[in-house]
A and B are shown apart, each in its own frame.
Chain A
Amino acid sequence: MEPLIVSSSPHVYSKDTTARIMLDVVLALLPAAAAGVYFFGGRAALIMVISVLSAVMTEAIVQKLMKKPVTISDWSAVVTGLMLAFNLPPTVPLWLPVVGSAIAIALVKQAFGGLGHNFMNPALAARAILLAAWPVYMTTWADPIHGAMGAVNAAASADAVSSATPLAILKGLEGTQEQLPPLWSIIVGGTRGCLGETSDLALLLGAAYLLWRRVISWRIPFSFISTVALLTWVLGPQGLFTGNAIYHIFSGGLILGAFYMATDYSSSPVTPKGQIIMGIGCGIITSIIRLYGGYPEGVTYSILLMNVAAPLIDRFTMPRIYGEVRADV
């Protein structure tokens, strides 16, 4: 008889694996990816493919060089590549996603120890670096080929002009005279913006799937979005309680950021209370940047700043253990 396996209990495991969780995130992003292609055309698809491929290749090359096991089959590099593409305007030159993916994987993820050790969301950190290095490429918005803004502005603008996003219009930036697009087009898609953030409807569909699969919890997205809604409504441009909270919720990258980026496991707190603090913190910073800062959009920086605070938040929000006798009680 073969020797019996002797190991410490438990002897059974749940079916969930790291790879399955990452695959779930990819599946959840597909409707929004499809919406990106529908509204921005074949170039959007090209950017996504290039971004994903270069992310996966960077991971394999770096792991080979560092003589570590190559773990590209865990889908995590695919998630990062796709997330990065979602955060790029559809007009960027095709080498930009290559550089971005290399930064995200090599610098932000692998240099700090790989999966689970990155202290910032890799895709967002890469976006921030790209935005600083190539600000013009990163803020040149194309008009969608379908949708409200496309139809309204198609005659006036060429394919790639630095036209305003709804948030820029909301903020009154660049002396723009453009009208805000109708709310339905902001929710369904077809306004200017990054590839993946155009259709909130598609993003929410994927988010519902992630919540149902329990890949993410409601804590970070819910607290993030409600904080933004509250602050942008209270601190309105014409005085207290005059803000346009609905437009703030559905414009820009809030839905994408709240459900898919701020919920990144490695760079967000693990404690339930900590996750709510993370969401509220992101909401406050996003609102301040959007209302008073130099940029029309603040989701990226708010998440990155709260990423850095996550270890500290974990430390101060340790759950009360069963039967704990606290000195102060």
Chain B
Amino acid sequence: MGLKVFGFKGGVHPLHRKEGTQDKAVERMQAPKLVYIPLQQHIGAPCEPLVKPGDRVKLGQKIGQPKGFVGAPVHASVSGVVKEIRQVPHPAMGQGLAVVIENDGMDEPDESIAPKNLESLGVEELRDLILEAGIVGMGGAAFPTHVKLSPPKDRKIDTVILNGAECEPYLTADHRLMVENPQDVVDGLKAIMKVLGVERGYIAIEDNKPDAIRAISDAVKSVPGAKVVQLKTKYPQGAEKQLIYAVTGRQVPSGGLPMDVGVVVNNVGTGGGVAQPKNLLVRIGTTFRDVIDACGGLVGQPAKVISGGPMMGIAQYTLDVPVIKGTSGILVLTKQEAETPEPGPCIRCGRCVEACPMGLMPLFISAYALKGDYDNSERLHAMDCIECGCCSYICPAKRPLVQSVRTAKRVITERRRRAAAN
């Protein structure tokens, strides 16, 4: 390839286990009879429902309107009749209000989803389109894309990075998207560069996906100022701050956002416990149970079902949770794979310090957190933790490092909130 390969400090090398699905073309899964569309699919306030039980909705019709600026509308993923609006299990929040739609199988499209020509659209039109389409990031927070594309005037954005690292083990959805639809990815980059008025665009891909690098490199030739950046295969290469450092050499200040260094990052775009692991294109609101059935069902007893990858994904308590916009994959682990090891005493080997991509000392933050001394956890920069899980992964004593840091972060955030309120 002759491309320079970029990386960051720290990180770990978990087995990537992508063999099962990386060469499997994306299949369109048949839409289920019922879809459950949560009204909150991202950080920020939940949407107000725009429909009521008994209403007929079309495919792509807006059914939920966000209350604040940080939010994105939700849309019907099938055409049919709204059955009810009720609490359902939610993959990230435990429970959440959702619109339940009975699919009529017609897939009658809503007028709003007519294709538009990228070249003929103005910047404001384009940004409104992205807002109306409810596009959100595929990171854990599912951050609304239009917010990222509306930086304050005093922030000069000069670089856009599309994140195609997909560093989580098992997951191959972004990989397949880049191989099969490189033009769509490049068009997305073009649209974002246009909205932000930026000349420099990068699509960053880990070097364990040579076919994706080839496909995207070919497609990106048509966009002036854009190019592919080859990244080292290492976890968490796709973490926003590590990615920005690898691509631009810039560091996002502690407590700051990528736009503070003039960068906007966007995503380009499913284990052992299912019979036929697949890459599926799934309607939002399809339950995990339906998706797993489409993969040939479960093999034996599932012990753990994860929304996302094994490093940062969220373990689910039921298979009845629906797929939401931020669902990057569903992972079913068998009992043997899901075993949570018994923690032993810290032997101070320092591997967590070496692995931490943020340069923190997880063993000390965790030790203070476990004693309830959150002041000292904060002093050791607990709030800078990106919760990638490298420390817990690498720990030979199997200590719950990131888990206890997470607790510390929650307490510290709560305290700051209360202090600000007083």
* Contact of A8 with B406 in the complex, beta carbons under 8 Å: yes
A228-277 contacts to B, CB under 8 A, are: 265-266, 268-272, 275
Which among A2, A4, A318, A322 is the interface contact of B315 at CB below 8 angstroms? A4
Q: A1 on the interface (CB 8 Å rule)?
A: yes
Complex CA–CA separation, A1 to B301 (angstroms): 7
How distant is the Cα of A204 from the Cα of B345 in the complex, in angstroms?
29
Question: Which residue of chain A lies nearest to B317 when distances are taken between CB atoms in the complex?
Answer: A6
> Pick the contact of A323 from B252, B350, B395 — CB < 8 Å?
B252
CA distance A10 to B341 in the complex (A): 12
The answer to the question of B400 belonging to the interface, with a C-beta cut-off of 8 Å to chain A, is yes
B350–A265 touching, CB < 8 Å: yes
> How many chain-A residues does the 8 Å CB contact rule pick out?
42
Residues of chain A lying within 8 A (CB to CB) of residue B398: 13, 17
| Docked pose: A2 CA to B312 CA in angstroms | 24
Check: A174 CB closer than 8 A to any chain B CB.
no
Q: How far is the CB of B385 from chain A (nearest CB, A)?
A: 10
- Cα–Cα distance between A11 and B306 once the two chains are bound (Å): 9
Partner among A114, A265, A271 whose Cβ is within 8 Å of the Cβ of B349: A265
B393 and A10 contacting across the interface, CB-CB below 8 Å: yes
CB distance from B320 to the nearest CB of A (A): 11
**Is B285 close to A, CB under 8 A?**
no
Give the chain A neighbours of B14 by CB distance below 8 A. 12, 14
CB of A64 within 8 Å of the partner chain:
no
CB of A321 within 8 A of CB of B360, answer yes
A325 to B260, CA, bound (A): 13
User: Closest CB-CB distance, A116 to chain B, in whole Å?
Assistant: 4
- The reply to whether the CB of B340 lies closer than 8 angstroms to some CB of chain A is yes
Instruction: Please name all residues of chain A whose beta carbon is closer than 8 Å to the beta carbon of B350 when the two chains form the complex.
Output: 265, 269-272, 275
CB-CB < 8 A to A3: which residues of B?
317
A11 to B315, Cβ gap below 8 A? yes
B residues 238-259 with Cβ under 8 Å of A?
241-242, 245, 251-254, 256
Q: Is B130 an interface residue (CB 8 A)?
A: no
**Residues in B neighbouring A319, C-beta threshold 8 A:** 353, 359-361
A324 within 8 A of B: yes
Which residues of chain B are near A12, meaning CB under 8 Å?
A: 14, 169, 310-311, 337, 393
A14 in contact with B12 (CB, 8 Å): yes
A21 touches B347 (CB 8 A): yes
Q: Is A5 an interface residue (CB 8 A)?
A: yes
Q: Which of B304, B346, B361 lies in contact with A116, CB distance below 8 A?
A: B346
Give chain B nearest CB distance to A24 CB in angstroms: 11
Q: Which of A77-117 contact B (CB under 8 A)?
A: 113-117
Q: A11-B333, A324-B381 are in contact. Are A4 and B251 (CB under 8 A)?
A: no
* Interchain CB contact under 8 A, A116 and B310: no
Q: Bound complex: CA of A5 vs CA of B357, how far in Å?
A: 28
How many residue pairs, one in A and one in B, have C-beta atoms under 8 Å apart?
Answer: 162
Q: How far is the CB of B278 from chain A (nearest CB, A)?
A: 20
* With A10-B311, A10-B392, A322-B241 as contacts: A272 and B345 at CB distance below 8 Å: no
Kindly report which residue of chain B lies nearest to residue A12, judged by CB atoms.
B310
State the CA gap A11–B384 with chains docked (Å): 22
Interface size class of B (residues with CB under 8 A): 35 or more
Contact B359 A11 (CB under 8 A): no
Q: State whether A323 touches B253 (Cβ < 8 A).
A: yes
Q: In the complex, which residue of chain A has the Cβ closest to the Cβ of B301?
A: A2
Residues in A with CB closer than 8 Å to B252 are 322-323
Contacts of B358 in A (CB 8 A): 321-323
Quick check: is B313 within 8 A (CB to CB) of the other chain? yes
**Contact B338–A5 (Cβ < 8 Å):** yes
Please tell me if B217 contacts chain A, counting CB pairs below 8 Å: no
CB of A18 within 8 A of chain B? yes
From known contacts A266-B348, A322-B357, infer whether A8 and B400 are also in contact, taking CB-CB under 8 Å. Answer: yes
What's the least CB distance linking A52 to chain B, in Å? 19
Contact between B361 and A325 (Cβ–Cβ < 8 Å)?
A: no
Asked if A10 meets B357 with Cβ closer than 8 Å, knowing A4-B305, A265-B348, the reply is no
Chain A min CB distance to B354 (Å): 7
The answer to whether A67 has its CB under 8 Å from any CB of chain B is no
B49 beta carbon closer than 8 Å to chain A:
no
Q: How far is the CA of A16 from the CA of B387 in the complex (A)?
A: 21
Query: B353 near A272 (CB under 8 angstroms)?
Result: yes
Q: Which residues on the A side are within 8 Å of B245 (C-beta)? A: 322
Kindly provide the distance from the CB of A93 to the nearest chain B CB, expressed in whole angstroms. 33
CA distance A325 to B256 in the complex (A): 10
Q: Do residues B345 and A322 form an inter-chain contact, with CB atoms below 8 A?
A: no
Contact A321 B304 (CB under 8 A): no
Specify which of A2, A9, A18 is in contact with B397 (CB 8 Å cutoff).
A18
A324/B353 in contact, CB under 8 A: no
What's the Cα separation between A115 and B357 when bound, in Å?
27
For residue A10, which residues in chain B have a CB less than 8 angstroms away from its CB? Answer: 310-312, 389, 392-393, 402
User: What 13 new A-B contacts, CB under 8 Å, besides A10-B393, A11-B313, A17-B398?
Assistant: A5-B338, A8-B403, A10-B402, A14-B14, A14-B393, A116-B348, A266-B347, A270-B363, A271-B361, A322-B242, A322-B357, A323-B252, A324-B253
Listed in ascending order, the chain B residues whose CB lies under 8 Å from chain A are 9, 12, 14, 169, 241-242, 245, 251-254, 256, 301-306, 310-319, 331, 333, 337-338, 340-341, 344-351, 353-354, 357-361, 363, 380-381, 384, 387, 389, 392-398, 400, 402-403, 406
Question: Can you list 12 A-B pairs with a CB-CB distance of less than 8 A?
Answer: A4-B317, A4-B319, A9-B310, A13-B395, A14-B12, A17-B397, A18-B397, A265-B347, A271-B350, A320-B359, A322-B358, A323-B254
